Amino acid sequence: MMTNTNQRLTQGQFSFLPDLTDAQITKQLQYALRQGWAVGIEYTDDPHPRNTYWEMFGNPMFDLRDPAGILLEINNCRKTFASHYVRVTAFDATRGVESPKMSYLVNRPANEPGFGLVRQEVDGRNIRYTIHSYATDKGEGERY
Amino acid sequence: MNAEANTSCAEAMSDLALLYRESGIAEVFEKLDRELVGLAPVKSRIREIAALLLVDKARRAVGLAASAPSLHMSFTGNPGTGKTTVAMRMADILHRLGYTRSNHVIAVTRDDLVGQYIGHTAPKTKEVLKKAMGGVLFIDEAYYLYRPENERDYGQESIEILLQVMENQRDDLVVILAGYKNRMETFFRSNPGMASRVAHHIDFPDYSEAELLEIARLIAAQTDYRFDEAGLAAMRDYIAHRLAQPHFANARSIRNALDRARLRQAQRLFMNADKQSAPDKEALMTITAGDIRASRVFRGGLDGERKQESS
């Protein structure tokens, strides 16, 4: 059975849909800004589901009124890290901490090998399962 | 044939009228007229720009060629002539005509754009630009961005980023540069790239004495104060005296004068409080001649004493 359907990473919102167009991203950003959320852009080449903290591309953008500025940064990030995963996260500060309220991918590598299941035998015949990203077998910068 | 052309012409006219009504800029003009005394050349320029934008919109609607107009502006004039206020109204007009997505104005100066060390300027300028996207970026005293005496000044870097965004993202951002007339002219002369990207130069004239008096009345009325007859005459004298003195900042000086007059009025009411019964509403609202004539402006201003000695 194929576990990596369509060879696509499915993390965050909209990940089972076709990639969002810039116009659609703008709409989503507009929604986030209307809610008063700050938006940050992050990238990684190690998309393990437990890898929560991706690298930030610039600072999170506070006090913005219009999505055009964020889209500009997204495109900068896409240009700089063309074959990385890039995601947009909207943070809500109402509870005193910047908690993510939205998160979706805006860029993905052309070829996504996905994850493999690793079985580790421990304590006799017990088996521990973990998943492993094929891409991380290679060194940083050569993964995608 | 002629009749046909006439009807299509009439249609276009009615379309324009409809566009004008729908955009609601009449309201902004009304507000502009009500809140800003004088400034006739500025108002007429703004009307011209608005008319051009409206006609462009109408042209686009019928499929005529309409180039995306360059909307960056430069406001020149002495302090207190209403540049910031007009910028706010301009943002309203542009928003209502659909040339900006929002009517917000981000007002910045050199400090907000230029960093203090290498690599600090670009992110700083970009952050401000991002905040202003969709609306209007108002750069006050823009000529400070360019410091010819220091060739390693980071201001140049900021100008370059600004130029790039002004050119490439004309749909996202309108930049208004403001400052003294002669210094702005030097700034544009030494930055031809900037000069060629700013389409509209609007000069703000100084106010006349009559206009300043009208401004004083307007400011007073906005805060529920009014002058009695002698008070108004005193204000007229005050303006005449103040105009002759240095550091006159037009409407801003008038507002400061009124603030001080309010202080004196409060003091007067307070001192008289135990002598007579509580002041009525009329007394609380009225600024009298005494409140204004107590100003040091009538004694020659700050350096009045020195003048008296020499004369």
Q: What is the pLDDT of residues A59-92, one digit of tens each?
A: 889 989 899 999 999 999 999 999 999 999 999 9
B2-204: CATH topology is Rossmann fold (3.40.50)
Which tokens belong to B223? 């805060």
Strands B136-140 and B105-108: parallel
Q: Which of A22, A66, A74 to mutate to test the interface with B (most CBs of B within 10 A)?
A: A66
Give tens-digit pLDDT for B99-142. Answer: 888 889 999 999 999 999 999 999 999 999 999 999 999 999 99
Q: Which of A28-42, B51-65, B133-147, B240-254 has the lowest mean pLDDT?
A: B51-65
A65 → closest Cβ in B102, B127, B169: B102
Instruction: Report the pLDDT value the prediction gives residue B17, as an integer from 0 to 100.
Output: 79
Closest to A68 (Cβ–Cβ): which among B104, B123, B133?
B133
Whether B232 shows a pLDDT value over 70: the answer reads yes
Estimate to the nearest angstrom the gap between the alpha carbon of A87 and the chain centroid.
4
Spatial distance between the Cα atoms of B107 and B298, rounded to a whole number of angstroms: 36
Residue A59 counted as domain residue: yes
Q: Identify the band that residue B8 occupies on the pLDDT scale cut at 50, 70 and 90.
A: low
Q: Does residue A3 form part of some domain? A: no
Is the pLDDT at B13 greater than 80? The verdict is no
Verify whether the Cβ–Cβ distance A69 to B102 is below 8 Å. Answer: no
Domain extents in chain B: 2-204, 209-310
What's the rounded Cα separation, in Å, for the pair A21 and A14? 12
Arithmetic mean of pLDDT, B75-91: 90
Q: Which residues of chain A have pLDDT under 50?
A: 1
Instruction: Look at residue B126 in the predicted model and tell me its pLDDT.
Output: 92
Find which of B126, B133, B174 to mutate to test the A interface (most A CBs within 10 Å of its CB).
B133
Provide, as residue numbers in chain B, all residues whose Cβ is less than 8 Å from the Cβ of A70: 130
- Tell if the CB–CB gap between B101 and A66 is shorter than 8 Å: yes
In a domain, A127, yes or no: no
Instruction: Flag whether pLDDT at B254 surpasses 50.
Output: yes
| Interface touch A65/B173, C-beta < 8 Å | no
B-chain residue closest to A64, CA distance: B131
pLDDT attached to residue B9: 55
Q: How many domains is chain A partitioned into structurally?
A: 1
Report yes or no on A129 lying in a domain.
Answer: no
| Structural domain contains residue A128 | no
Does residue A125 form part of some domain? Answer: no
- Which range marks the domain in which residue A23 is found? 9-111
In the prediction, which pLDDT does A41 show? 96
Those residues whose C-beta lies under 8 Å from the C-beta of residue B209, and which sit 6 or more positions away, are B236, B239, B240, B243
Q: Cite the beta strand spans of chain A per DSSP E.
A: 38-44, 55-56, 85-92, 99-107, 115-122, 126-133
Closest CA to A83 of A29, A141, A36, A22: A141
CB atoms A69 and B123 under 8 Å: no
Nearest chain B residue to A73 by CA distance is: B130
Is A138 inside a domain boundary? no
pLDDT for B201-226, tens place per residue? 999 999 999 999 999 999 999 889 98
- B interface residues, A as partner, C-beta within 8 Å: 101-102, 104, 123, 127, 129-131, 133-135, 169, 172-173
Closest CB from B104, B123, B172 relative to A68 = B172
Quick count: other Cβ atoms within 10 Å of Cβ B256?
12
Our CA angle for A10, A15, A18, nearest 5°, is: 125
Residue in B123, B127, B134 closest to A65 by CB? B134
Best to test chain A binding among B126, B130, B165 (most A CBs inside 10 Å): B130
pLDDT tens-digit readout, B18-45:
778 777 788 888 888 888 888 888 889 8
- Residue A84's domain is classified under what CATH number? 3.30.190.10
Please give the Cα distance from B78 to A80 (Å, whole number).
Answer: 45
Distance CA B15, CA B298 (A): 57
In tens, the pLDDT along B149-196 reads: 888 889 999 999 999 999 888 888 999 999 999 999 999 998 888 888
Q: Spell out the residues 6+ positions from residue A52 whose beta carbon is closer than 8 angstroms to its own.
A: none
Does some domain include residue A120? no
Q: Which residue of A has its CA nearest to B129?
A: A69
Both tokens of B134, joined, read 């969709």
Nearest to B133 among A58, A59, A69 (CB): A69
CB-CB contact of B200 with B47 (8 Å):
no
Instruction: State the pLDDT at residue B1.
Output: 43
pLDDT of residue A25: 96
B103 contacts in chain A (CB < 8 Å): none
Nearest chain A residue to B171, by CA: A68
Beta pairing, strands A55-56 & B226-227: unpaired
Size of interface A-B (CB pairs under 8 A): 39
* Helix/strand/coil for B287: strand
B102 interaction partners in chain A (CB closer than 8 Å): 65-66
- The answer to whether B251 and B81 have CB atoms below 8 angstroms apart is yes
Provide the shortest C-alpha distance from residue A120 to chain B (in Å).
Answer: 48
Q: Comparing C-alpha atoms, which of B303, B210, B219 is closest to residue B253?
A: B219
Instruction: Give the class (CATH, top level) of B209-310.
Output: mainly alpha
Query: What is the tens place of the pLDDT at every residue in B131-143?
Result: 999 999 999 999 9
- Contact status, residue B231 vs residue B293, Cβ threshold 8 Å: no
